[in-house]
């Protein structure tokens, strides 16, 4: 079975199956309807639309619903046919969609936030709708009563959310670059820990409850894998995008991470190899190779009558080095550096050609991607963003053929 899962032709690319056009503004969320040739979209143009594939092969809206405020987030629960829509005005609205996807009934409005809703998760077990927003809080509300159960405030805008359904842990990413892990109770919550590592706002999170891995994507163009289950604080850095990382999806079976960035970049990371943690950057007043002082080290500059140098860091060993001692660049995929980064001369010499073999594949989505979701069972991906276009992709050429069992993309 393992051999089957791991066969992935590296030269293959995602195949664009369909393009859906019609929204008049940024499409903030697009979700594939399981087992249907259908997509639900939410847009800044204030509409929610359900698109079904017709005999012509084209997608046409079967539902077109206009809201009071731009739609900023969405969650869909297929078994109960519930759609939750977050809006720019802070409200979350719940709808029930009919079996044939031709009708959508309004259920209730939740006064979730004072400002733009950024993410929504629905938990059927607890009957909670959990959401984050630009009012700097995470709130959870009872779907039976519609009442607010609890909220927790952060120091900056809460931008994304993941939730562990078994343990009621919530992960909230924010604009300061922090991720907060909270345990939600019926009316209270406790902060378990905060995860700090990104140098830019957190744009997306993905929680894998089986391997207990958290992935975060940020405006610093990087991804961090937090090994929560390992309990040793192990983190892996993944640098391969050239723009803000906006969406993530981890595929348990094949141990691949799919990530999308603002510039349309789609990366598929092989997480089934042993990767190394990137080192902490060391601090020093002088180059740790040639011992020349850095420019703030006035005393040593005076003593040795030398001019201070700029400080740099070798990405592989973390040492503080001068420009002369780190003149070369190399990729180092095992540490997550898929493009060339600064390394010191001795690290450069230690990197062999085979160490530069990429551990990810990179593809072009050819449009802004601010949201992505996958139907893993069918190997399908849907992307959307500021260009108002929704694209449906067959990812089976890049994500391992075992996913495609019984699936025909046409
Ligand atoms: Zn030096
Ligand atoms: Zn080094």
pLDDT digits (tens, 9 = 90+) for 264-321: 999 999 999 999 999 999 999 999 999 988 888 788 878 888 778 889 999 999 999 9
Overall residue count recorded for the chain in this entry: 410
Q: What is the pLDDT of residue 6?
A: 45
Q: Residue 409 pLDDT > 60, yes or no? A: no
Q: Which of 337, 361, 362, 363 is nearest to 348 (CA)?
A: 337
- Mean pLDDT over each residue of the chain, to the nearest integer: 93
How confident is the model at residue 332, as a pLDDT? 98
CA of 197 to the centre of ligand 1 (A): 27
Span 120-133, mean pLDDT? 97
Give per-residue pLDDT as tens, 143-179: 999 999 999 999 999 999 999 999 999 999 999 999 9
Q: How confident is the model over 347-361, as a mean pLDDT?
A: 96
Rounded distance from Cα 347 to ligand 1 centre (Å) = 13
Q: Looking at the CA of 312, which ligand is closest?
A: 1
Q: Which residue has the higher pLDDT, 99 or 409?
A: 99
| pLDDT at residue 11, rounded to an integer | 62
> Given a cut of 70, is residue 2 above it in pLDDT?
no
CA of 194 to the centre of ligand 1 (A): 36
Let me know: does 246 contact 203? Beta carbons within 8 Å. yes
In the chain, what percentage of residues exceed pLDDT 90? 88
Separation between Cα atoms, residue 298 and residue 282, nearest integer Å: 20
Read off the pLDDT of residues 129-150 as tens digits, 9 standing for 90 and up: 999 999 999 999 999 999 999 9
Ligand 2 centre distance from Cα of residue 345 (Å): 7
Contacts (Cβ under 8 Å, ≥6 apart) of 6: 254, 272, 400
Mean of pLDDT values over 377-402: 92
The per-residue pLDDT for 300 is 81
pLDDT (average), residues 240-248 = 98
Alpha carbons 56 and 264: distance in angstroms, whole number: 28
Ligand 1 center from residue 224 Cα (angstroms) = 30
**Alpha carbon of 350 to ligand 2 centroid (Å):** 9
218 within 8 A of 203, measured Cβ to Cβ: yes
Residue 254 φ then ψ, to 5°: -100, 0
Tell me: pLDDT of 79 over 80.
Answer: yes
From ligand 1's centre to the CA of 290, what distance in Å? 4
pTM over 0.75: yes
8 A C-beta contact, residue 203 and residue 323: no
What is the rounded average pLDDT of the residues 109-130?
A: 97
CA of 221 to the centre of ligand 1 (A): 29
Q: Which ligand is nearest to the CA of 290?
A: 1
Provide the pLDDT confidence category of residue 103 given band limits of 50, 70 and 90.
very high
Residue 364, classified by CB atoms within 10 Å of its CB into exposed (0-12), middle (13-18) or buried (19+), is exposed
Give the mean pLDDT of 208-231.
96
Query: Which ligand approaches the C-alpha of residue 287 most closely?
Result: 1
pLDDT of residue 331: 97
Cα–ligand 2 centroid distance for 290 (angstroms): 13
Please give the pLDDT value at position 42.
98
Instruction: Give me the residues near ligand 1 (ion), CB cutoff below 5 Å.
Output: 287, 289-290, 322, 325
Report the alpha-carbon distance of residue 73 to residue 118 in Å, rounded.
6
Say what the pLDDT of residue 9 is. 47
CA 296 to ligand 1 centroid distance, Å:
15
**pLDDT band at 232; cut points 50, 70, 90:** confident
Ligand 2: centre distance to CA 315 (Å): 7
Per-residue pLDDT at 47 exceeds 80: yes
> Which pLDDT band, with edges at 50, 70 and 90, does 5 fall under?
very low
Q: How far apart are CA 44 and CA 40, in angstroms?
A: 14
Query: Which ligand lies nearest the alpha carbon of 281?
Result: 2
The residue to which tokens 């847009």 are assigned: 43
**Number of the ligand closest to the Cα of 282:** 2
- Among all bound ligands, the one having the nearest atom to the CA of 321 is 1
Closest ligand to C-alpha of residue 292 is 1
CA of 330 to the centre of ligand 1 (A): 18
CA of 221 to the centre of ligand 2 (A): 23
**Does 72 score more than 60 pLDDT?**
yes
Q: How far is the CA of 324 from the centre of ligand 1 (A)?
A: 6
Per-residue model confidence (pLDDT) at position 265: 98
The rounded Å distance from CA 332 to ligand 1 centre is 21
Cα of 310 vs centre of ligand 2, distance in Å, is 16
The two three-digit tokens of residue 223, written as one number: 């991804």
Angstrom distance (rounded) from CA 337 to CA 72:
33
């Amino acid at each position: 079975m393992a051999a089957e899962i791991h066969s992935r032709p590296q030269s293959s690319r995602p195949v664009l199956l369909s393009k859906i056009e019609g929204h008049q503004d940024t499409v903030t969320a697009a979700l594939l309807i399981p087992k249907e040739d259908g997509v639900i979209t939410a847009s800044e143009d204030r509409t929610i639309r359900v698109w079904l594939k017709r005999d012509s092969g084209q997608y046409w809206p079967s539902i077109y619903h206009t809201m009071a405020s731009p739609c900023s987030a969405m969650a869909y629960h297929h078994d109960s046919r519930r759609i939750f829509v977050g809006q720019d005005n802070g409200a979350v609205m719940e709808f029930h969609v009919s079996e044939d996807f031709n009708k959508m009934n309004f259920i209730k409005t939740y006064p979730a936030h004072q400002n733009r809703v950024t993410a929504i998760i629905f938990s059927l077990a607890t009957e909670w709708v959990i959401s984050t927003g630009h009012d700097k809080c995470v709130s959870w509300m009872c779907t039976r009563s519609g009442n607010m159960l609890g909220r927790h405030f952060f120091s900056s805008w809460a931008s994304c959310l993941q939730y562990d359904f078994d343990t009621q842990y919530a992960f909230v990413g924010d604009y300061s670059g922090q991720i907060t892990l909270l345990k939600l109770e019926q009316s209270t919550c406790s902060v378990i820990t905060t995860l700090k590592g990104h140098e830019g706002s957190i744009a997306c999170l993905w929680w894998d409850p089986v391997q207990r891995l958290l992935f975060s994507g940020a405006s610093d163009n990087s991804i961090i894998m937090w090994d929560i289950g390992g309990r040793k604080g192990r983190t892996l850095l993944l640098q391969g995008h050239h723009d803000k990382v906006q969406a993530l999806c981890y595929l348990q079976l094949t141990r691949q991470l799919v990530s999308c960035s603002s510039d349309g970049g789609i990366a598929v990371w092989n997480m089934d190899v042993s990767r190394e943690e990137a080192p902490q950057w060391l601090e020093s007043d002088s180059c740790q190779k040639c011992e020349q002082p850095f420019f703030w080290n006035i005393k040593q500059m005076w003593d040795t009558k030398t001019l201070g140098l700029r400080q740099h860091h070798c990405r592989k060993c973390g040492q503080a080095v001068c420009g002369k001692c780190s003149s070369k660049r190399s990729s180092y995929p095992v540490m997550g550096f898929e493009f060339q980064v600064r390394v010191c001369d001795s690290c450069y010499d230690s990197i062999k050609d085979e160490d530069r073999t990429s551990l990810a594949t990179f593809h072009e989505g050819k449009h802004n991607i601010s949201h992505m979701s996958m139907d893993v069972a069918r190997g399908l991906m849907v992307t959307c963003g500021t260009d108002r276009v929704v694209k449906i992709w067959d990812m089976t050429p890049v994500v391992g053929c075992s996913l495609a069992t019984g699936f025909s993309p046409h």
